[in-house]
Amino acid sequence: MVVREAQDRDVDEIIDIYMQISKLHENNRSDVFKTKDIQKNRNEILEILEDEKFNVYVATDEKEIIYGIIIINIKNVKEHRNLNDAKILWVEDIGVKEEYRRKGVGKVLIDKAKEIAKYENCSRIELNCWEFNKNAIEFYNKVGMKTQRRIMEIVL
């Protein structure tokens, strides 16, 4: 398995993964997440691929079958009233096609994020994860991530 930068030709396979992510979120919190169709996801992916602040990587094989994606960006915290200055690698999205989950694809993608974070002299890697996504939480714990904070809510 190889992790490489995503290209325009990868859009259809990235959309397959994005649709799975969208459905998971919509099915669990339709009060929060919009229903997205393929065209909306396509437009989002094309915008992200064009946006210089994001880097998109795909886990693939020699036949160019894409197993998973990770979308990252580097955030600089400077002169925040409460936080120390820091350079953080932020994981916008990570997803693995359902049929390839629990086969090491996610770990390879996180390893790529770690490699980039070290190269960029980041102090840490951060991401958000919804509480309903127990499989993702379990995965993040396995790759060494710890809960940093929680966002609490009262649904009205």
Low-confidence ranges of the chain (pLDDT < 50): none
Give all strands of the β-sheet with 55-60 in edge-to-edge order.
2-5, 55-60, 66-77, 86-96, 124-127
**pLDDT at residue 40, rounded to an integer:** 84
**pLDDT at residue 129, rounded to an integer:** 96
Contacts of 91 (CB under 8 A, 6+ apart): 70, 71, 72, 113, 125, 126, 127
Residue type, position 88, single letter = I
**pLDDT at residue 140, rounded to an integer:** 97
What fold characterizes domain 2-142?
A: Aminopeptidase (3.40.630)
**pLDDT at residue 63, rounded to an integer:** 82
Annotated domain spans of the chain: 2-142
How many CA atoms, within 13 angstroms, populate the side-chain half-sphere of residue 69?
Answer: 26
**pLDDT at residue 50, rounded to an integer:** 92
The one-character DSSP state at 81 is S
**pLDDT at residue 79, rounded to an integer:** 83
**pLDDT at residue 84, rounded to an integer:** 80
